[in-house]
Amino acid sequence: MSETTVGYLNGLLSKYTPSSTSFDKARTHRSGIETRLDAWLGVREMFETGSLKHGTGVWFYSDVDYVVSLKGTRPTPTMSLNNVRDALKDKYPNTTVRVSRPAVVCEFASGDETVEVVPAYIDSVNGGYWIPDPKDSSAWMKSHPKDHNSYVNDANTKHSGAAKKLARLAKTWKYKRNVPISSCYLEMRAAKFAKGVGTWVLPMDLASFFKHLQDIDLAAMNDPTGLGSRFTPCSSESNRQDALSKLDTAVTRSQKAYSAYLDDKHADAISQWKLVFNQ
């Protein structure tokens, strides 16, 4: 029996879904990182966040992400990042440790066990955390990572996990087509989109999601929890234009794929999806 469109997309989801143990080696570095940062800078708490924690990670591409809430007076974002970088460089002299806003990236095992650490300062009055703004080296931005995780989980209860499936496929497109767009932006857009649709048909809604992103011109997104700063799609306008160009191509191909799917031409639909995901 020939492969169906839904079967192909579900197979792609399965292929790029990390196993429960895929990133265990990367997670073994947590204790050493936390101990060193506590000794040098003082740590209130350190917790995992990001794609893997949210259940939207992409096998081979996603990293283990931590937020480290630091004690003391909040310095400039650049100073905070440099302080974390220097502490971890001293701890791991044979590991590449670099700043990639808003995080410090530790490339353990030549990058096979990559860990990203985001320095943060708690807002004890209004809640949430101040983290370095990815777009402005002199600015902090408000983030509520625990609430964002809850929002994605809540959206995912609708349509049997549609939100996380949509987010993972959108991120797979990002990585496979080298699209300079924020994974967090895609995840929150996907969660909001999935939460708003009345029915769920994977080929239809995936194509509709790409079209939705095109229609809104990759606009910045208000925090759907109403708590934090806006989610920006890209780190610069030039990257946004590059992302829009690649999105236009994805929309054209996904619309062709959906039309073929409606005509029961699954081989044609799959060939278009393969172009979307560079398979």
Calculate Rg over the CA atoms of the chain.
20
Predicted TM-score (pTM) of the model is 0.86
Per-position pLDDT tens, the chain of length 279:
589 999 999 999 999 998 777 778 888 999 999 999 999 999 999 998 877 777 888 988 888 899 999 999 999 999 999 999 999 999 999 999 999 999 999 999 988 889 999 999 999 888 889 999 988 889 998 888 888 888 888 888 888 889 999 999 999 999 999 999 999 899 999 999 998 888 899 999 999 999 999 999 999 988 887 776 788 899 889 999 999 999 999 999 999 999 999 999 999 999 999 999 999
Longest dimension (CA), the chain: 64
Q: How far apart are CA 14 and CA 9, in angstroms?
A: 9
Tokens of 38: 């506590």
Phi/psi for 65 (5° steps) reads: -115, 135
